[in-house]
Structure 1
Amino acid sequence: MITFLHVFCSVAAWIGFCYMLNSYRRNRDDPALRYLCVTFALSGTSFTLLIPAVWIRLDSLIGVPNITALLASSGVTCLVFGQQITLQYWNHPPAVARRKARTRIALCGLTLAATTILFANLEPSIRHPEDFSVYEGHSAYYFTYLLIYIGVYTSGEVIIARTSWKSAKETENPHLRAGLQFLAAGATLTLGYSAIRLGNLFGSLFGLDFPHRNELSWLFGNTGAFLTIVGFTFPGWAPRLQSAYDWCVRFLAYHRLYSLWATMHRAVPEIALSPPGRRIHDFTTVRELEYRLYRRVIEIRDGQLALLPHADCTAVLRAEAFARKSGLSEGAVRSVTAAVAISTALDRLPTEQPSCSDLRLPGTTGSADSDLDSEVAELLATWCELRLLIPSGGGRGTSGPARPLDRTHH
């Protein structure tokens, strides 16, 4: 499981690095993006080094057993400071952020120097790519080494979590707010890694042993790291994800309206700019989708206006009264009465002249103030009601060629 977690987070970090690098190329004057690129590169490198096969191979190349542990922990130390610097640039003017960045860079350098000196005093002879911390836990040098590393790591994650939660409350951008919340959650979750490592460290002094401690600590650490990757990148790709989601919603709406649109076209052929083709061709429509959906809604509304004078006024008014008496919402009342008007118009259309020219449906159906999404929702609800009222063939009025109607409503 540990290997899988390292591979997964490594891939995620390198994808994040490529994404941030592309953003930095378009905006080279943004220091926060520059630090984020470095941070993601360090994250990807650290997780890659922790993969056992990479660990063993690099140890063999350098010739120092477990040197990869020092390299990976140094990368994590640098990225934690890098994340703090990024947040400083997000929350302070450039001059203030630069001053705070210099302080953190100095602290990072001191931490790396101390941990490197302590590591050099270890005497590892056997490679331990998956349980190095457990294997070396008895060493006084390693005790101090890990205490410094976990102390810096934990304090950094606490700062990141606190800063992110505070900034998330202050921002009005929903995508940035969500990204900061992901970041804060990830930083908070990594504290579980710190707690387990510290428990191992001090537990060994009293002869205490925690089962599955290594697996559990990496589960906390890697899950938290993945959430921070999501948090830093979310404000950039979330709007695109929202656009893709909106496109999918409208794609489904466009095709769900097909049956109602085809029914209206069979009764009033002249409403459509182009007649319905085979349904499979309709499913291949992917370009100019918003315009096509808007056009489909307009054509259905044109069909409703053309059919309304042919509706059975008595049946429509009774349906409206019954719907209101039943306690239906205003939207449901509109859908029911519109469905009854269409159904009765389809039945009367071939044989009877318009007899209900003054009929008006309740509410603001098709009003200029309606937005596209609400129009689509109302028409889909109308179609659901209409399917209960007309035969599968679309009603008697659609069984044969429909005569053109007077288009004075245009």
Structure 2
Amino acid sequence: MYDLVANCLYLAIGALWVVLAVFKSRAWRRQRFPALLVMAVASAATAVSFLCSAPAVAAVINESSGVGFLGLLIVYVARLLFGAGAVVLVLLWAPPSRRRAGEQAWAVPYAAVRTQVRRKVGWVYGPVIAAMLVLFALFPPGLDSSLPLDTTYAAQPPVLAFLLVYQAAFAWGLWQLGRTCRRHATAAAAQRLLRRSLRCLAVGSALIGGYCLTKCVAIGAAAAGTHVLDWVGSVVSPLSGCVGCLVLAVGWAGAAAAGWRQRRADYRALRPLWTAAMQVDGRLALDGPRRPWAEWLTARDLEWRLTRRTREIRDGQLALRPWVPEDVVAAARRCAAEHPDMAPQEREAAVAAAAFVGGLRALRARQRPERHCEHTPGADVAPGDERRHLVLVARHLQGPFVTRVLAEAS
């Protein structure tokens, strides 16, 4: 029964981390940020560690190779690779005081931390893995790989040294990751999604650290000749590690998943404004409109689709400018001034929506205004705020503000 539960649990978590590795690899191919590559490699290493931890998989590896506990060695090395990746991420996620102005943590170039990576990763994990391989080769012959190594053979000096070296190196990487994430979560108080992801990473690191601590307790007791705490190493440790890895996966992918949901929501929110912009000049669109159900199912290439839709809307606004009546814009600004509770971004978006609808109405009637608006409302929005601005414009397109402005300007 234990093997069945362990197989299902480890294989399921391993499959989850395979998915994360694939998504992080795709993200790195698009943006080529070193942090994304490190996360992809660390995710792949974690996936290997869980897949090989499944008793069925470990048994196949041991029997096919003829080397006892080879599956466990692969698991431990994979976990150390994750720990090495965690330390590299810590170096890349430097605090703002150590980054150039405007530089994001995930975009820090590898060259900026190459020396530290060589010192803190290459000179630590390289010798650790080499020492583990040597100690593994010194295991006494005839060890039964169907039994737990840590509690059954902890009294053997090579085995004890092998286990303690692994636990110390793995715990060190987790401690570095958890400490940095806690510090950065406090600094990112204004960024809700980032703060949540960092807290998940910190909690996940602490829970996996609990795996290391409880394993050491069980190993120490077994090395001292008592096995009353074997259940701590066989039940509490795996449970703490699995829960920690699930929490870590949430933090690993939380911000990316939230960003994907936001891009998808923005893409759908811009549809009414894009449809209206295409009425100005249908030649502005690279492709024709998609059916509503097809757009609702859109899940891939959202960044590219959003960028294209934003540019096509902006082109439509530019083409509509000679048709936007000056009196409509003036009326919109007067109405907006009567709502001091509106945020400046919301006010500018409402004025831009009224100007767009007013210009579209004049275009449909083929009545060019005597005085058109020379400066399109919202045209000076910063590039980083453009998408959010257009989403607000789309929400006001058929709202009461635009209706009131058009009624006053008529």
TM-score (norm 2): 0.57
1:16 to 10, 13, 21: 21
Counterpart contact for 1:320–1:337, Cα < 8 Å: no
2:218 match: 200
Equivalent residue, structure 2, for 1:406: none
Q: Which residue pairs with 1:405 in the alignment?
A: none
Residue 407 (structure 1) aligns with = none
Q: Return the match for 2:133 from 112, 136, 151.
A: 112
Question: Residues 250 and 290 of structure 1 are in contact (CA less than 8 Å); yes or no, is this contact kept in structure 2?
Answer: no
- C-alpha displacement at 1:334, in angstroms? 8.5
Distance 1:4 1:369, change over 3 A: same
Deviation at 1:324, TM superposition (A): 2.8
CA-CA distance at 1:191 after TM superposition: 0.5
Q: In the superposition, relative to structure 1, how do residues 122 and 149 fare at CA in structure 2: closer, same or farther (>3 Å)?
A: farther
Conservation of the 8 A alpha-carbon contact between 1:169 and 1:177: yes
Local SS of the residue matching 2:214: helix
CA distance in 2, matches of 1:9, 1:337: 49
Query: What whole-Å deviation, never above 9, does each CA across 1:16-64 have from its counterpart, x for those lacking one?
Result: 389669979x99xx9x999988766654443332223321222222345
- Identify the match of residue 151 of structure 1 among 168, 178, 181: 168
Pick from 309, 312, 320: which aligns with 1:289?
Answer: 309
Equivalent residue, structure 2, for 1:51: 54
Aligned-partner Cα distance in 1 for 2:78–2:399: 59
The residue type equivalent to 2:62 in the other structure is D
CA–CA distance in structure 2, aligned partners of residues 147 and 116 of structure 1: 16
Counterpart-to-counterpart distance in 2, 1:336 and 1:95? 53
CA contact (8 A) 1:168 1:177 kept: yes
Residue 216 of structure 1 is matched in structure 2 by 239
CA RMSD, Structure 1 to Structure 2 (Å): 6.2
Cα separation, partners in 2 of 1:121 and 1:83, compared to 1, 3 Å: farther
Match of 1:127 among 130, 143, 146: 146
DSSP-derived class of the 1:257 partner: helix
1:408 counterpart residue number: none
**Deviation of residue 147 (structure 1)?**
3.7
TM-score (norm 1): 0.57
- Higher mean displacement: 81-90 or 61-70: 81-90
User: CA-to-partner distance for each residue in 1:136-185, whole Å, 9 max, x for gaps?
Assistant: 457523666544432332233224444666789999xx999999887666
- Contact in 2 for aligned 1:320/1:333 (Cα 8 Å): no
**Does the C-alpha gap of structure 1 residues 154 and 337 become closer, same or farther in structure 2, counting only changes over 3 Å?**
closer
Structure with greater contact order relative to length (CA < 8 Å, sep ≥ 6): 1
Match of 1:256 among 272, 280, 298: 272
Question: In 2, are the aligned partners of 1:84 and 1:159 still within 8 Å (CA)?
Answer: yes
> Any stretches of 5+ residues in structure 1 without a counterpart?
266-270, 396-410
Residues 25 and 36 of structure 2 are in contact (CA less than 8 Å); yes or no, is this contact kept in structure 1? yes
Q: 2:377 aligns with which of 350, 366, 371?
A: 366
Instruction: Name the CA distance, whole Å, in 2 between partners of 1:162 and 1:48.
Output: 28
User: Do the aligned residues in 1 keep the contact of 2:7 with 2:55 (CA within 8 Å)?
Assistant: yes
Question: Number of matched residues?
Answer: 352
Whichever of the two has the greater Rg, that structure is: 1
Q: Distance in 1 between matches of 2:124 and 2:319?
A: 65
Alignment of 1:5-404 (within 5 A): 5-11=9-15, 12-13=17-18, 16=21, 42-64=45-67, 66-77=69-80, 79-81=82-84, 84=87, 94=114, 97-98=117-118, 101-117=122-138, 119-120=139-140, 123-124=143-144, 127=146, 132=148, 136-137=151-152, 139-141=154-156, 145-162=162-179, 186-201=204-219, 205=226, 207-208=228-229, 209-210=231-232, 212-213=235-236, 215-220=238-243, 222-223=245-246, 226=249, 248=264, 251-257=267-273, 272=281, 288-298=308-318, 303-305=323-325, 308=328, 320=335, 324=338, 331=346, 335=350, 366=377, 368-370=379-381, 372-373=386-387, 374=389, 377-378=392-393, 380-385=395-400
**What amino acid maps onto 2:241 in structure 1?**
W
Q: Deviations over 1:329-361 (max 9, x none)?
A: 675699499869979x98xx99xx99x98999x
3-state DSSP of counterpart to 1:369: coil
Q: 1:357 to 1:102 in 2, by over 3 A?
A: closer
Q: Cα deviation per residue 1:218-270 (whole Å; 9 max; x = unaligned)? A: 31453366479769xx9xxx6x996x7786455324422267669xx7xxxxx
For the residues of structure 2 that align with 1:114 and 1:379, how far apart are their CA atoms? 65
Identity of aligned residues (%): 16
| 1:187 CA displacement | 3.6
**Aligned partner of residue 120 in structure 1, secondary structure:** coil
| Paired residue secondary structure (2:208) | helix
1:76-95 residue CA offsets vs partner (Å, 9 max, x unmatched): 34553565468669597645
* Matched residue SS, 2:377: coil
* CA gap 1:179/1:284 in 2 versus in 1, 3 angstroms: closer
User: What's the CA shift for 1:377?
Assistant: 1.8
Number of the residue aligned with 1:402: none
